[in-house]
Amino acid sequence: MDSSELNIIGQHTSLADLFRTLEKVAPTDSTVLVTGESGTGKELLVRALHLKSKRKDKPFVPINCGAIPRELLESELFGHEKGAFTHAIRTRPGRFELAEGGTIFLDEIGEMDLLLQVKILRAIQEREIERVGGQGSRKVDVRIIAATNRDLEKEVAAGRFREDLFYRLNVIPLHLPALRDRDGDVLTLTEHFLQKFYKKSGRHPLKLSPQARKALRAYTWPGNVRELENLAERLSILCDGPEIGLKDLPSKILSQVGDTDLLPDVEPKAAATATAKIGIGNNGDGQVAPARDGAWFWPDISTMCAHSLGLKEFLDTLEERLLREALDKAAGIKNQAAEILGIKRTTLIEKLKKRNLE
């Protein structure tokens, strides 16, 4: 990852300070505390930090403290000696040791158990750790970076986070603002992601219609960049036309927008038909006229084989289905059913007879 990937985080002016601080802090060994809502790209920022540090050639070891039960987390962080607890069949080094010389990234540190906080505090202060069930402690040379989406000051006030640890961690605070607070970034990022997925898929790059732009900017993005990236990927796959219109956006976004001004966005009819051909999917050569609104895909050989049928049986089965359906539609009137199917009535009768139908 080079620094250009930081663009993924955004370009908004509120980030300018952030990046400047990052440049200054990276080469040092200071502890850093990253705050920001979920999905704002904290890990990305931290990775960038690591890569800009002197430790870039050493390990970068992320660990999500919020997701791991207390007992496991301790052994995960500090390792354990054989027999330390029931399932500790053998000695295992912890993440701190694995990160030796490099950086450890304690994500969601706000979730961490108070008891463990003490041990982390010790690791920061003394630069040494002790394995679970271990005897002595061992020195480690690890840079510590932590992140959380909680407001740690409040957690401290509420007694859920140790004040001393907070101050140790909060040497350099880096705050990643939420996407909704970075007006221009939404569009920049969207285009960035669209471009990225375009490259992956080989299809034409998607453009944003003016209405879609408005809607995207008006949305609050509770999932922040992650949600946006996710949407961009989806659009890259699902969008038919060359342009993303309101119709392509999820209702979640549209309903939040609710601006009458935006509603008249009706895609020009001509465009719709003109772009239909881009449709993917036809596994064959697509000689056959593409289905228009066809909510259906042609069965293929794999389908056939899945039923262990031969060509004939397969077509036969399909025919039977169609016969039934036609009869159903025609309420049992064979005359009409035959009409629907575009075959002679007598032919239909023969076919039915052959199958003992009706």
Partner DNA sequence: GACTTTACGTCAGATAATTGACAACAATTG
Partner DNA sequence: CAATTGTTGTCAATTATCTGACGTAAAGTC
In the region spanning residues 83 to 102, those forming contacts with its own copies, defined by CB under 8 A, are 83-87, 89-90
Residue 353 binding partner per list its own copies, DNA, none, with a CB distance cut-off of 5 to 8 Å that depends on partner kind: DNA
| Closer residue to its own copies (CB): 30 or 259 | 30
Q: How far apart are CA 40 and CA 284, in angstroms?
A: 42
Candidates 132-140, 173-181, 283-291, 343-351; binding stretch for DNA (CB under 7 A): 343-351
Q: Which is nearer to DNA, 247 or 334 (CB)?
A: 334
Q: What is the DSSP string of 56-90?
A: TTS-EEEEEGGGS-HHHHHHHHHEE-TTSSTT--S
- Coil, strand or helix at 327: helix
Contacts of 61 (CB under 8 A, 6+ apart): 95, 98, 99, 102, 103, 104, 105
Residues whose CB falls within 8 Å of the CB of residue 262, separated by 6 or more in sequence, listed in order: 211, 214, 215, 246
User: Least distance from C-beta 352 to DNA, angstroms?
Assistant: 7
Judged by beta carbon distances under 5 to 8 A according to partner kind, the member of its own copies, DNA, none in contact with residue 334 is: DNA
Instruction: Let me know: does 211 contact 24? Beta carbons within 8 Å.
Output: no
Provide Rg for the chain, Cα atoms: 30
DSSP-assigned letter for residue 139? E
Binding marks (x or -) toward its own copies, 242..261, rule CB under 8 A? Answer: --------------------
Residues 33-52 that bind its own copies (CB under 8 A): 38-39, 47, 51-52
Give the x-and-dash track for 299-328 against DNA (CB under 7 A). -------------x----------------
The partner in contact with residue 7, picked from its own copies, DNA, none with C-beta cut-offs of 5 to 8 angstroms by kind, is none
207 binds DNA (CB under 7 A): no
Contact pick of 88, 218, 276, 343 for DNA (by CB under 7 A): 343
326 binding its own copies? (CB under 8 A): yes
Q: Which of 204, 93, 172 is nearest to 138 (CA)?
A: 93
Contact between 130 and 74 under an 8 Å Cβ cutoff? The reply is no
Residue 335 binding target from its own copies, DNA, none, CB below 5 to 8 Å by type: DNA
The span from the CA of 279 to the CA of 298, in Å, is: 14
- Choose which of 124, 170, 247, 349 interacts with its own copies (CB under 8 A): 170
Which residue among 189, 349, 356, 357 contacts DNA (CB under 7 A)?
Answer: 349
Rounded to a whole number of angstroms, the minimum distance from the CB of residue 258 to its own copies is 20
User: Which residue in the set 2, 251, 264, 296 belongs to the binding site for its own copies (CB under 8 A)?
Assistant: 296
Determine contact, residues 82/88, Cβ cutoff 8 Å: yes
State yes or no: residue 346 binds its own copies (CB under 8 A).
no
CB of 4 to its own copies, least distance (A): 13
Q: How distant, in Å, are the alpha carbons of 241, 278, 301 from that of 282? A: 17, 11, 13
Question: Considering the complex, what minimum distance in angstroms separates the CB of residue 157 from its own copies?
Answer: 10
Smallest separation (angstroms) from its own copies to the CB of 294: 5
Coil, strand, or helix at residue 348? helix
- Tell me the CA distances in angstroms from 172 to 185, 247, 277, 284, one per residue in order: 25, 44, 54, 58
Does residue 155 bind its own copies (CB under 8 A)?
A: no
Residue 93 vs 332, nearer CB to DNA = 332
Kindly state whether residue 347 participates in binding DNA, applying the rule CB under 7 A.
yes
